[in-house]
Amino acid sequence: MTDMMVGILFIFIIMLMVFALNFRTQTDATEQLTAEAEQLTAEQKEQLQRADELAKQIADLRNQISQEIGELNKADQARNLLLEAIEERLDQVGLSVTIDKNTGVLRLTEEAIRFAPEESSLDSRAQQNVFAVARVLRDILPAYTACPDGRACPGSSGYVVETVFIEGHTDKTGSDNLNWKLSTERAVNTYRRMVDDFPELRGLLNSQGKEILSVSGYAYTRPVIEQDDAEGYGKNRRIDLRFVMEADRRERLTQVLSLLDEMQRKVEQLRSSPEQPDRRSGDPRDGAP
């Protein structure tokens, strides 16, 4: 009986030791998991803080870009006023033109400047009309150009024209090489007539100190009308004046804004649903992660 009691007591002591050892192991594992959880929580807090800082930077940048786009919109409004003023003045002298506010183009119709097929010279009537256009530009454009030495121009609109393109166009008949040559010659001849009549036009400068009048030829690549007959060809043989304000970067800024919106959505997802630690409760002895 005594031997049995000693044996039972010995077994009990062994079981107690095993229990104590298991309890100690579980306690150590729990403490380790708790420390890891606290560490992950600190990392998450730091991550959220960084997300907040990033969100603020994005908001500041978006605000700056929005302000710049707003300025570009105001510049467009100034360009529209410029086009309307030119159109009104030319209408007063009996010269009909059309304006496209979306592209900033003032179109001299075939009634104003008519080019014969395969011809680039200005006839007497076209020269008179170019004279009228140049005179109106001389009177109106100074309020939309930069002044020498940074001085304020009398009557300045506050917005500056970067370039006025004198654009030459042809119809689609004839050879490709000839049409490129014709369109450029038509633009150059119109430019020369303008500055010969009013040399002061060459003194109109943008904010970079460059002359704003320039020329370009487009051959038949930009028809005003898709009409393959004599009437359509006559309308496409024309001169356009394209007014470009400083600085037309709206498309690029809009793309940047879209990118920032996407970034901000990701940041909001990060802030509202921080990644939780992938831990599951269980006995550390059975291989629980």
List the chain pLDDT tens, one digit each, 289 residues: 444 444 544 554 565 555 555 555 666 666 666 666 566 577 667 777 777 777 777 777 777 777 777 777 888 888 999 999 999 999 998 898 899 999 999 998 777 888 989 999 999 999 999 999 999 999 999 988 886 545 555 556 678 899 999 999 999 998 999 999 999 999 999 999 999 999 999 999 988 889 999 999 999 999 999 989 989 999 999 999 999 988 555 656 666 677 677 777 767 766 665 444 444 444 444 444 4
| Three-class SS state of 267 | helix
- Please check whether residue 280 lies inside any domain of the structure: no
Instruction: Return d(Cα 2, Cα 7) in angstroms, integer.
Output: 9
Is pTM beyond 0.95 here?
A: no
- Please check whether residue 154 lies inside any domain of the structure: yes
Which residue range forms the structural domain that includes residue 258? 1-272
- Please check whether residue 151 lies inside any domain of the structure: yes
- Please check whether residue 279 lies inside any domain of the structure: no
Q: What residues does 242 pair with on adjacent strands?
A: 105, 165
Tokens 């020369």 found at = 192
- Please check whether residue 101 lies inside any domain of the structure: yes
- Please check whether residue 277 lies inside any domain of the structure: no
Rounded alpha-carbon distances, angstroms, from residue 201 to 3, 81, 97, 166, 214: 124, 20, 20, 13, 11
CATH number for the domain spanning 264: value is: 3.30.1330.60
Question: Pairing relation of β-strands 105-108 and 161-168?
Answer: unpaired
Counted domains in the chain: 1
Residue 250: closest CA among 12, 73, 47, 1: 73
